[in-house]
Chains A and B, each alone.
Chain A
Amino acid sequence: MGAAMSVLSHGVADAAMISKISKITKAKELGVPTFVRMSDPMQVTTLTRRFQSKLIGGVDFLPAADDFPVVVYVYSPHDETEEIREIECVKRTAATVSPALAHALRAFVRLGDQGIDGVARSRLLMTLRRATTAATIYPSITSDGFGAAIAEWRAGNRMIAIEFTPDGEYSWIATNDEGSLERNEVGIGEPDPAELAESLEQFSDHVAVLNSSWRQLFD
């Protein structure tokens, strides 16, 4: 049995899910997980920073909509030799996650181990959690092959791109319908969630008129 590892959870992790994750970690020889309940997303962020030197992957365990995969990032803050493991499991509960965020989670699972920096990925997921709603268009999720985590939206020449790089910086780039740059923000941390939410709302309203069947474009 491997060293005890911690699974950080945001929101409610019910007994059935705890049992399921425990069985998975045992089957994968990751040891018996310790569950830490947190109700405040900022607690997740705080813990991430505290263990940053040892953090390899993300810290999100999210309550799921029916039938969409929940990605659990498991890491060991106490043993630097332990590798990060991602565990995917399906849970049927009421949805508290936006479809755009759920889509992003699934996309990261499909991308698998492409060298995406775990902290960059976590920051992107947290940003999407704060800035997306039920109406937000799904982003395309990718990496540059050098650790960056990127969410990008495109409708004709109109674009929004959010990029988190391993150096701790983010970029928020946006263009208008002429393809001209309208926003070019670079900073440490993350974009202002209210401003990004407004930008995504405008984009989503625009797309809803342009192509009301856009959901069919995504898996």
Chain B
Amino acid sequence: MKAEWTYDDPSIPDDALLYRRVTKQPDNLVRDVSDGRRKVGIALFSYRADGLSIYASCLMDREGISDVELIDWTQEKLACVSTDVVRRSEPGDPYVGTRPPTGTVPAGEAHETGGGVVACVSSHPGDPRVQRSHGLVRIHLKPDSIDAKRHWNAFRVKLVMAALLKDSSSAGWTQSIA
């Protein structure tokens, strides 16, 4: 019997922040040539076999940890998006039937790709509280589904445009870093 693909847990609130590790190598950041600062790029949001790995602030609150304790700040930075951005599904311009496809939403759709968040304990070695704060961002299509990539591309552009960065434990959240 096929396992059901659950892509959202409504108990995770819209205002929950979802954190992504930004490794040193490869550095998934992109140089914005208009101002020289670095921003989140599409590489940070890759759709893996079970979803996009994140840490959710609501789960972290339950475990009594903050974003400062999520990573080794000498080796990594943090990016975040909010759950309401993940779930957002606003109307967009429909695709025109030309090759290549154009439009602001996936072909055959009238709205942005909305996704969801599910909790999922991580097996990444480290603090058990961090492991239990782990979750997965998903869309309605499984990663190996036909056309999942086109939908995920539209979805991750939405995340890229909304993501914030923090490059040290004491820094604030900004759209870009030096």
Contact = CB atoms under 8 A, between A and B. Distances in A.
Contacts of A184: 101, 103, 106, 150, 153-154, 157
Interface size class of A (residues with CB under 8 A): 35 or more
Interface residues of B, number: 36
A150 B153 contact: no
Q: Which of B23, B26, B41, B150 has the most CB of A within 10 A?
A: B26
Q: Which 8 A-B pairs have the closest CB atoms?
A: A144-B46, A140-B30, A185-B100, A179-B161, A214-B33, A155-B34, A144-B43, A143-B26
A192 B99 CA distance: 11
B25 interface: yes
A217 interface: yes
A140 B46 contact: no
Interface in A158-198: 159, 161, 163, 169, 171-173, 175, 179-186, 192, 195
A52 interface: no
Interface of A: 111-112, 114, 116, 137-138, 140, 142-146, 148, 150, 152-157, 159, 161, 163, 169, 171-173, 175, 179-186, 192, 195, 207, 210-211, 214, 217-218
A140 B26 contact: no
B150 A155 contact: no
B161 A145 contact: no
A184 B100 CA distance: 8
